[in-house]
Amino acid sequence: RSALDREKEDLIEVVVTIQDEAFEHIVPFRRQIRVIDVNDNAPTFVRSLYKFDVDETEPVGKTLFAQIGLADIDEGSNAVVRLTCDADLSPEACETFEVSVQPQTAGNYIGLVTLKKPLDFEARSSYDMVIRAEDSGAKALSSTANILIEVNDIQDQKPIFINAPYSVSIPE
């Protein structure tokens, strides 16, 4: 016999038989017992590394990336997942980008990355962000993934002349 696991079998069918003292009457009762979920599975990401490019001129508040797949095969509150940026491991990325989850079906989510503050390619051309998915179980379980964000340089600087003013003399 193996331990119960709701993810493998959520109903168990048992037959209980009752008999009298004289063993003359035997009555079987068939019953189904529902296996209650315990939080034994951490949320999982579809991939451990995600990558995307973003133009430095994108407006604050725009959702930049919506392809982070994650799931938790537990049930009920054990499968309710929240997504956060790990500020200890990627502080600058967490100041610049916000992550959130959008439920799809029970236990399945899409992670979103939104811009929190303006980007500037000349100041920073890429970010490596560590994100954490944590379930809502009594003893919460979590997992992490990385997002590599490349900032695209857009012509947003006015041209300047070095060593101005210039003068030219042309003979007649």
Tell me the pLDDT tens digit for each residue of 60-83.
999 999 999 999 999 988 999 999
Q: What pLDDT was estimated at residue 92? A: 97
Q: What pLDDT was estimated at residue 39? A: 85
The pLDDT of residue 137 is above 80: yes
Q: What pLDDT was estimated at residue 107? A: 92
pLDDT-derived band at 147, boundaries 50, 70, 90: very high
The pLDDT of residue 21 is above 90: no
Average pLDDT of the residues in 163-169: 77
In this prediction the pTM is 0.78
How many CB atoms within 10 Å of residue 85?
Answer: 21
Q: What pLDDT was estimated at residue 153? A: 93
- pLDDT per residue as tens digits for the range 33-59: 887 778 889 999 999 999 999 999 999
The pLDDT of residue 158 is above 90: no
